[in-house]
Structure 1
Amino acid sequence: MNFELSKEQKDIKRAAREFAEGEIREVAKEYDRREEFPKDLWRKACELGFVGVYIKEEHGGADLGLLECCLITEEFWRVDPGCGCVLLSSFGAETLQNHGTKEQKEKYLPPIPAGEAIMGTAVTEPDAGSDIFGVRTTAFKDGEDYLINGSKIFITNGTIADYLAVFCLTDPDAKNRYGRYSMIMMETDRAGFEASKIKGKLGIRASDTAELSFSDVRVPAGNLIGGKEGNGFEQIMELFNMNRVVAASQGVGVGQGALDQTIAHVKKRQAFGSAIGKFQAVQFKLAEMATMVEAARVLTYQAAWLLDNGKTDPKLIAMAKWLSGETGVRVTDDALQLHGGYGYINEYDIERFYRDAKIVEIYEATKEMEKNTIARQLLGRF
C-alpha cells in the first residue's frame, strides 16, 4: 500500500474536518443531552456529499471508496462521536449496491445521498447477540409476498429509518446452514412493524438505537435483495467486513479527538508553578497516546485500501477493528486522567468522549470476536 494519501483524499479529509469544526462542535453537547438524532446536521452533511460517498454517481453518490468514507468518519468522530454517526444514515446501502437488483438500486439508493431517506440494517436479536446463526426472525412466502415475524435489538437508525435491510431466516431446513438466510428490504411504514427507541445509553447518544418487532409484516417478494434466497449470510458478512473498518476509523477519530483536547489542556493547566505539559510523566503519556492512535490509523487505512482494491483480509480487518477500539478506550481514559477533576464534569468534552469510545469495542462484533477471528486465521485447522 502507498501510505501517502492522494491530493483528493487530503482535500476530502480537510473538508470533513472543516465541516465538523464548523457545524458539529457547537451542537454536539446538546444532542448528547437530548439523546436525539441531529436531522438538520444530517441534511447539511448530505448536501455537501459526505453521506454515502461510496454510492455510484449514477445513483447520486460520489463514487468514492471505503478509504474516503473512513477519512470522513475519522474527522467527524474527532470532533464528536455521537453526531459523527450521521454518516451511518446510509448503513446497508453497501449491500444494496453490491447485490441489489437494478430496480432495487434505482429505488432505494438515490434518496440516501440526497438527504431524502435514511437506511438501516437489522441483524442482531435479543437471544442471539454475536451469533449470526442464532437469528430467528423469519420471512416466509405468502403468495407474492413475504411475511416477516420476529424481533431485533440494538438497531442503528431503528426509529428514524425510512427503510431497513432485514436479515431473515427464509429456509430453516436448508442442509447448508449458510444458505438458510436472506436479506429483505422493508419500508418502515408497513403494518405490523414497530420500533422502540432505546434511551439511557452510555455514549453516542445522538445516534438512534432501537428495538424492533415484526408481526406479519407483508413485504413484496421483489424486495428480496438480489432476487434469490439463501444469499443473506454472504451479503451480511461482506457488510460486516466493510463496516468493521468504518468502526475502526471511529476508534481512530475518538482517540485523536481526545488527544487533541489533552494537548491543549496540558499546555495551559498549571500545577506546582508550571504548565503540566512540561512534566516528563505527562510527556511520556502523550507520546504513548499519539503512537497508539497512529498505529491504529495506519492499520485502518490499510484495511480500507485493500477492500477498495478487491482484497478482503478478515485477519487484518479484525486487527484494525480491535486495535482501534482498544486505542479509543485507552486514549480517552488517559486523556480524562490528564484532565484530572475537570475531565469528570460535562463542561469539558472529554467526559463525553470517554463515554462514547466504549461502543467501538462492542458493535460490529465485540473485541473478543475480533480476537477469535485473528486467532483462527493464524492457526488455521489443526
Structure 2
Amino acid sequence: MDFRLNDEQRLFRDTLRSFVDKEIVPVARDWEQSGRYPTEIVTGMRDLGLFGLAVPEEYGGLGADMVSFALAFEEISRGWMGVAGILGSHSVSCFMLARHGTEEQKQQYLPALATGERRTGIALTEPGAGTDLQGIRTTARRDGDDYVVNGTKMWITNARYADPLPVLVKTDPSASPAHRGMSILLVHADSPGFEVTADIGKLGYKGTESCEVVLTDVRVPASQLLGGVEGRGMQQALSALETGRINIAARSVGVAQRAYDESLSYARERTAFGQPIGDFQAIQLRLAEIAVRLQAARLMTYWAASRMDEGVRMDTESGMAKLFASDQAMACAADAMRIHGGYGYSTEFEVERLYRDAPLMSIGEGTNDVLRTVVAKSLLAGRATIS
C-alpha cells in the first residue's frame, strides 16, 4: 500500500503550488474584499490547461487521473477557495458531458471547454429544490424539433460565463418515480428567454458568482438533450456529482492546509508574556489537532480519488471523503481563529476568510447529513464494506 504521489503527480502539484503562491496568495484577500473578479487568475488556469482536467485527451483535455484532479482543487483552495469554484462547476459539467454526451455533443463542446475558450457550469438546484432534486419544477415541453423550457434555477456557479449551461429539467412531469421523467438539456447562453437575473450575496465563497437563472419559454433544440435519450438526467447528474464530491473534499483539504500554515506561522511569530505563543501547551494542542485533522482528511480524499481511478462505483467513498474532509476544514478554521485570538477576527488576516469559506463545503454537493444517510444505506445494502 503506497500512500505517496508518483513522479508525475508530484510535478503537477509543484507546478500548481508555484502558480498559487505567485498568482493567487498575494491578491486573494484584497480582491475578495473589493469584490473584484479574478480575471487574471482565470487566464492563468487556462494557460495551465486546468479547464481540461476532466476532458479526455482525445478531445484536447488533460484527462487527469482523479488524484491529480484532487491536487488541483486542494492547491487552488489553499490560495483562495472561491476561485476553485470557477473550476469546480466547469469540471463537473465536463465530466458529465464526456461520460454521457453523444459523440456529436462531445465533438461540438469538449475541445473548446478543455482550453477554457468555452466555460460551463451545471444548473440543478432551484428555490424549492436543493438536496431533493426530484422536487425540481423546471419543465421542458417537446414542441416539434425543440423543447420549450420554463423554470428558475438558484445558486448557479459560473452562470454569467457558462455556454452551454446543462440544465436539469422535467421532460415528463407526471413520471413516477419522478427521476424517470428528468433530463438534462445543454442550453446556450444567447437563447431568447434565458436570463441571469441576480448575483446572490454570500457569507464566503467569493471570487465566483452564484446566480439566479430564469428560463422563460426558452427553445432548446432536441439535439441538445444530453445523451439523446429522455429520462436519464438524474442518473447523469448524480454520476457527475461523484467527481464534485472529490473536488469539495479536496477544497476542504486546501482550506485546512492554509489554516495550518497560518496558525503555525503565527504561533512562531506572535509573543505573549515574553515568549512565542507556540511555547504554550494550549496552543501546541490546537496545532497538533489541526495537523492530525488535515492529514486524515487528505489521506481519505486521495483514497476516494484513487478508488474512482479504479473505475468502481464509489458514491460511498466520495461521500465519506467529502463529509469527513469538510467537517475537518470547519474544525481547523475554527481552531486557527482561536490560535490567532482577536487578530483571527480581523479582515487583515487570512483566517477570517477561511472561517467564512469552510462552511460551504459541508453544504455543497449534498449536505453532510444527507451524505451520512447515503453512506449508511450503502453499508446496509452491502454495496460497500469497511475493512
Superposed pair shares fold, TM > 0.5? yes
Shift of 1:340: 0.8
TM-score (norm 2): 0.95
Contact 1:28–1:82, Cα closer than 8 Å, also in 2: no
Write the deviation string for residues 2-57 of structure 1: whole angstroms up to 9, x where unpaired: 32211000111111111111111122123312334312211211111222312112
3-state secondary structure, aligned to 1:90: helix
Question: 1:10-49 alignment to 2 at 5 Å?
Answer: 10-49=10-49
Contact 1:251–1:328, Cα closer than 8 Å, also in 2: yes
Shift of 1:363: 0.9
Task: Return the alpha-carbon distance in structure 1 between the equivalents of residues 106 and 327 of structure 2.
Answer: 36
Aligned match of 1:329: 330
Question: 1:228-267 alignment to 2 at 5 Å?
Answer: 228-267=229-268
Answering whether residue 131 of structure 2 is matched by residue 107 of structure 1, we say no
Task: Return the alpha-carbon distance in structure 2 between the equivalents of residues 220 and 350 of structure 1.
Answer: 48
Task: Return the alpha-carbon distance in structure 1 between the equivalents of residues 148 and 3 of structure 2.
Answer: 49
Moved more, 21-30 or 146-155: 21-30
3-state secondary structure, aligned to 1:148: strand
Task: Return the alpha-carbon distance in structure 1 between the equivalents of residues 350 and 7 of structure 2.
Answer: 31
Aligned match of 2:143: 142
Return closer, same or farther for 1:209/1:286 CA change in 2, 3 Å cut-off: same
Write the deviation string for residues 257-305 of structure 1: whole angstroms up to 9, x where unpaired: 1110110000010011110111112111111111111111111111111
Return closer, same or farther for 1:36/1:66 CA change in 2, 3 Å cut-off: farther
Aligned match of 2:385: none
Shift of 1:362: 0.8
Write the deviation string for residues 119-153 of structure 1: whole angstroms up to 9, x where unpaired: 01000011112101101111111110111110111
Task: Return the alpha-carbon distance in structure 2 between the equivalents of residues 184 and 377 of structure 1.
Answer: 30
Contact 2:259–2:332, Cα closer than 8 Å, also in 1: yes
3-state secondary structure, aligned to 1:92: helix
Aligned match of 1:117: 118
Aligned match of 1:222: 223
Task: Return the alpha-carbon distance in structure 1 between the equivalents of residues 217 and 260 of structure 2.
Answer: 49
Contact 2:74–2:251, Cα closer than 8 Å, also in 1: yes
Aligned match of 1:57: 57
3-state secondary structure, aligned to 1:166: strand
Moved more, 59-68 or 339-348: 59-68
Aligned match of 1:75: 75
Write the deviation string for residues 326-379 of structure 1: whole angstroms up to 9, x where unpaired: 111110010011011111111111111111111101111111111111222233
Moved more, 32-41 or 208-217: 32-41
Shift of 1:310: 0.6
Task: Return the alpha-carbon distance in structure 2 between the equivalents of residues 21 and 109 of structure 1.
Answer: 30
3-state secondary structure, aligned to 1:217: strand
Aligned match of 1:152: 153
Contact 2:85–2:157, Cα closer than 8 Å, also in 1: no
Aligned residue identity for 2:223: G
Contact 2:147–2:222, Cα closer than 8 Å, also in 1: yes
Task: Return the alpha-carbon distance in structure 2 between the equivalents of residues 124 and 92 of structure 1.
Answer: 14
RMSD: 1.5
TM-score (norm 1): 0.96
Moved more, 176-185 or 286-295: 176-185
Shift of 1:176: 4.3
Shift of 1:313: 2.5
Contact 2:86–2:157, Cα closer than 8 Å, also in 1: no
Task: Return the alpha-carbon distance in structure 2 between the equivalents of residues 60 and 378 of structure 1.
Answer: 39
Moved more, 260-269 or 308-317: 308-317
Contact 2:149–2:215, Cα closer than 8 Å, also in 1: yes
Shift of 1:66: 2.0
Aligned residue identity for 1:81: M
Identity of matched residues, %? 39
Contact 2:92–2:243, Cα closer than 8 Å, also in 1: no
Aligned match of 1:375: 376
Contact 1:96–1:225, Cα closer than 8 Å, also in 2: yes
Number of aligned pairs?
381
Contact 2:121–2:165, Cα closer than 8 Å, also in 1: yes
3-state secondary structure, aligned to 2:217: strand
Contact 2:249–2:322, Cα closer than 8 Å, also in 1: yes
Write the deviation string for residues 40-92 of structure 1: whole angstroms up to 9, x where unpaired: 21121111122231211222211212221110110111121122333224340
Moved more, 367-376 or 5-14: 367-376
3-state secondary structure, aligned to 2:141: strand
Task: Return the alpha-carbon distance in structure 2 between the equivalents of residues 66 and 218 of structure 1.
Answer: 36
Aligned match of 1:191: 192
Aligned match of 1:92: 93
Task: Return the alpha-carbon distance in structure 1 between the equivalents of residues 243 and 201 of structure 2.
Answer: 28
Contact 1:155–1:212, Cα closer than 8 Å, also in 2: yes
Contact 2:92–2:240, Cα closer than 8 Å, also in 1: no
Aligned residue identity for 1:33: Q
Answering whether residue 366 of structure 2 is matched by residue 365 of structure 1, we say yes
